[in-house]
């Protein structure tokens, strides 16, 4: 069985990943930094196929905070895609975005959330929103497919209009709980 | 014009002198100074709006350079940082190597110590080779600079722009 089939990924009929991609283009996003997550796989492929977007794969998510700060200094807008576990890797680097009033939108797919089976995912998944808010990030959740695009749109607008880190958390209830194919 | 590169009593390069040489006649080069002494080094060479001296975000200087270099492909971007700062973000050498930005250079002023916190030894004091790690990551031009005579060639390479990360040893 393909690894991709073992991972949690949005239903093939779900169109919210395409709606997020359209929003990235609408907002003029030029740099997409990411550590892959199965929940973002369709969106990642759309970004890779677009000549106007530079996709930068990171070794750890905090690299993305630093990169997007540099991008903003250079006049380009970016977004960070990651799984909730990656939020924990970003904590101190978020101080850069706070100190420099940097627009820094993050789109986070949740693990350790609704129906999680993996005990290692639960602590960070349970703490994701609290930790981001403790570091000055405006956080909004989307727990239904129809809420995702409006929430991501709000996250992008709040970042670029108010100059700060913002995040949309896409609930595991939307993405589906990982099952390892069982 | 040839610069005089100062060295200490042991013959090691003086960091301020190296940085002053690298930034001389820099044109519109954008420079990020990593947390710690490099922030002061780039400022001592001449404070200007094209400088970003960092007081935080340890481990992030090189990736800030990448984001800036991708956003400003027509301009030279130089990250000058320390060995402790680079080691904390060492994975970024891999992320940067994959992107291959021709307008980005990284210079690590490697004094083998954490200078801000009491001169504790870093891993480079014990044989860890940052230039080797950068080369292994796939960065095409990597150099280990120990002699004053090599600094001028380093300056020319950075200003010409083939994106070398470097490791000038110096005596602080």
Task: Note the pLDDT tens digit of each residue in A12-49.
Answer: 668 999 999 999 999 999 999 999 999 999 999 999 99
Per-residue pLDDT at B36: 94
Report how many Cβ contacts below 8 Å link chain A to chain B.
97
Q: Please give the Cα distance from B102 to B75 (Å, whole number).
A: 10
Choose among B120, B83, B130, B66: nearest CA to A59: B66
The mean per-residue pLDDT over the stretch A157-170 comes to 98
* Residue ranges of B 59-88 with Cβ closer than 8 A to chain A: 59-72
CATH classification number, A29-174, choose in 3.40.50.970, 3.90.320.10, 3.90.1300.10, 3.30.1130.10: 3.40.50.970
> Per this entry, what is the length of chain A?
182
Per-residue pLDDT at A175: 87
What residue spans define the domains of chain A?
29-174
> Model confidence over A87-145: pLDDT tens digits?
999 999 999 999 999 999 999 999 999 889 999 999 999 999 999 999 999 999 999 99
Within chain B, how many helices (H) and strands (E) appear?
7, 7
Q: Please give the Cα distance from B68 to A68 (Å, whole number).
A: 8
What residue spans define the domains of chain B?
1-118+151-172
CB contacts of B55 in chain A (<8 Å) are 99
Question: How far apart are the two ends of chain A, measured CA to CA in Å?
Answer: 12
CATH classification number, B1-118+151-172, choose in 3.90.1560.10, 3.30.930.10, 3.40.50.970, 3.40.50.2300: 3.40.50.970
The mean per-residue pLDDT over the stretch A53-61 comes to 98
Q: Report residue A139: phi and psi, to 5°.
A: -115, 130
What is the Cα Rg of chain B in Å? 14
Per-residue pLDDT at A5: 45
Residue A92 touches chain B, beta carbons under 8 Å: yes
> Model confidence over B139-169: pLDDT tens digits?
999 999 999 999 999 999 999 875 544 455 5
The mean per-residue pLDDT over the stretch A39-65 comes to 97
Residue A58 touches chain B, beta carbons under 8 Å: yes
Residue B95 touches chain A, beta carbons under 8 Å: yes
Q: How do B113-114 and B120-121 pair as beta strands?
A: antiparallel
**Neighbour count for residue A161 (Cβ, 10 Å):** 10
Q: Report residue B68: phi and psi, to 5°.
A: -70, -40
Residue A30 touches chain B, beta carbons under 8 Å: yes
Q: Please give the Cα distance from A169 to B2 (Å, whole number).
A: 56
Interchain proximity B95–A66, CB inside 8 Å: no
CB contacts of A63 in chain B (<8 Å) are 60, 63, 89, 91-92, 95
Residue A79 has pLDDT above 50, yes or no: yes
Q: Identify whether the C-beta of residue A105 lies closer than 8 Å to the C-beta of residue A155.
A: yes
CB-nearest to B64 from A67, A76, A95 is A67
* Closest CA of chain B from A131, distance in Å: 17
Residue A51 touches chain B, beta carbons under 8 Å: no
Choose among B99, B101, B47: nearest CA to B74: B101
Over chain B (172 residues), what is each successive 10-residue block's mean pLDDT? 84 96 96 97 97 98 98 96 98 97 96 96 98 96 94 93 53 41
Choose among A131, A133, A135, A138: nearest CA to A112: A131
What would the 3-class secondary structure string for chain A be?
A: CCHHHHCCCCCCCCCHHHHHHHHHHHCCEEEEEECCCHHHHHHHHHHHCCCCCEEEECCCCHHHHHHHHHHHHCCCEEEEEEEHHHHHHHCCCHHHHHHCCCCEEEEEECCCCCCCCCCCCHHHHHHHHHHHHHCCCEEEEECCHHHHHHHHHHHHHHHHHHCCEEEEEECHHHHCCCCCCC
């Amino acid at each position: 069985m393909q690894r991709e089939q073992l991972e949690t990924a949005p239903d093939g009929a779900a169109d919210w990943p395409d709606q997020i991609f359209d929003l990235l283009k609408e907002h003029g996003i030029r740099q997409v930094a990411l550590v892959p997550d199965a929940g973002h796989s369709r969106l990642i492929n759309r970004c890779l196929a677009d000549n106007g977007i530079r996709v930068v794969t990171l070794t750890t998510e905090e690299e993305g905070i630093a990169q997007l700060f540099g991008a903003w200094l250079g006049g380009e807008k970016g977004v960070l895609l990651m799984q909730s576990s990656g939020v924990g890797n970003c904590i101190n680097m978020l101080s850069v975005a706070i100190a420099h009033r940097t627009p820094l939108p993050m789109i986070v797919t949740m693990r350790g959330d609704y129906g999680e089976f993996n005990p290692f995912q639960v602590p960070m998944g349970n703490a994701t929103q609290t930790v981001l808010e403790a570091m000055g990030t405006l956080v909004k959740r989307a727990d239904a497919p129809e809420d995702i695009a409006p929430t991501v749109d709000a996250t992008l607008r709040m970042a670029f209009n108010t100059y700060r880190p913002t995040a949309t958390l896409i609930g595991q209830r939307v993405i589906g709980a990982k099952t390892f194919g069982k | 014009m040839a610069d005089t590169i100062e060295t200490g009593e042991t013959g090691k390069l003086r960091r301020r002198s190296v940085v002053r040489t690298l930034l001389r006649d820099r044109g519109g080069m954008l420079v990020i100074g990593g947390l710690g002494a490099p922030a002061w080094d780039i400022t001592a060479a001449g404070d200007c709006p094209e400088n970003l001296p960092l007081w935080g975000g340890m481990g992030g200087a090189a990736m800030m350079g990448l984001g800036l270099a991708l956003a400003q492909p027509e301009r030279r971007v130089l990250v000058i940082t320390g060995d402790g700062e680079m080691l904390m973000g060492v994975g970024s050498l891999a992320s940067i190597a994959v992107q291959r930005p021709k307008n980005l250079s990284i210079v690590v002023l490697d004094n083998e110590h954490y200078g801000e916190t009491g001169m504790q030894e870093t891993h480079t004091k014990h044989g860890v080779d940052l230039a080797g790690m950068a080369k292994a990551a796939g960065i095409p031009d990597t150099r280990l600079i120990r002699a004053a005579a090599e600094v001028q060639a380093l300056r020319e390479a950075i200003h010409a722009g083939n994106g070398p990360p470097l490791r000038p040893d110096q005596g602080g």
